[in-house]
Structure 1
Amino acid sequence: MATLLKIDDALKSRVHNLADQRRRSAHWIMLEAIQQYVDREEQREAFKKEALQSWASFQETGKHITGQEARDWLDTWGTENETAAPECQK
């Protein structure tokens, strides 16, 4: 699928300068930029969806852990005393 992308001269010049510095084609630079943007935005949307689902679950059940419980648990990661996730409470 061919897609036409119109960009202003200033941005076009920046892309070409970066392409020269990276020893890549301008086409490669633009594809890479688009790919990274789409990946980042998809991850942002997935995070937002998960947060909304978590909020809905909390409103429904009241189950949660405190911020301090989460920090204490995370502090054990990668240590000899690594612990299991704390139990949710009401």
Structure 2
Amino acid sequence: MATSIKLDTTLQDRVRHLAELRRRTPHWIMCEAIAQYVEREEKRESFKQEAMQAWQDYQATGLHVTHEEMDAYLARLEAGEDVEPPACHD
């Protein structure tokens, strides 16, 4: 798919300069920038959707884990212990 994009002169110069430094084409720099942006935004959207689903689940069931319970669990994982996550409760 061919797409065109209009960049102001300053941004064009910055892309061109970066391309020269990296020994790449300006086209490659722009494609890479767009690919990284899309990947980052897809992950952000996925995180947002998971958070919204968790909130809806909590509202429906009241099941949760406290901050203290999760903090203790994470500390044990960080210490290298093989532990199960805390059970949800209401």
Q: Which amino acid aligns with 1:28?
A: W
Say which is worse superposed, 23-32 or 70-79, in terms of deviation: 70-79
TM-score scaled to structure 2, two decimals? 0.94
* Alpha-carbon distance, 1:40 to partner: 0.5
Task: Please report the RMSD computed on the Cα atoms of aligned residues, expressed in angstroms.
Answer: 1.1
Instruction: State the secondary structure of the residue aligned to 2:69.
Output: helix
The answer on 1:59 being equivalent to 2:70 is no
Rounded Cα–Cα distance in structure 2 between residues aligned with 1:82 and 1:75 = 11
What is aligned with 2:2?
Answer: 2
Q: What amino acid sits opposite 1:32 in the alignment? A: E
Measured in 1, the distance between the counterparts of 2:71 and 2:47 equals 20
TM-score (norm 1): 0.94
Percent sequence identity is 48
1:70 aligns with 2:65: no
Q: Letter of the aligned partner of 2:73 in structure 1?
A: W
Q: Structure 1 regions of 5+ residues with no counterpart?
A: none
- Cα separation, 1, equivalents of 2:24 and 2:68: 48
SS in 1 for 2:6: coil
Alignment of 1:87 onto 2:87: yes
Shift of 1:82: 2.8
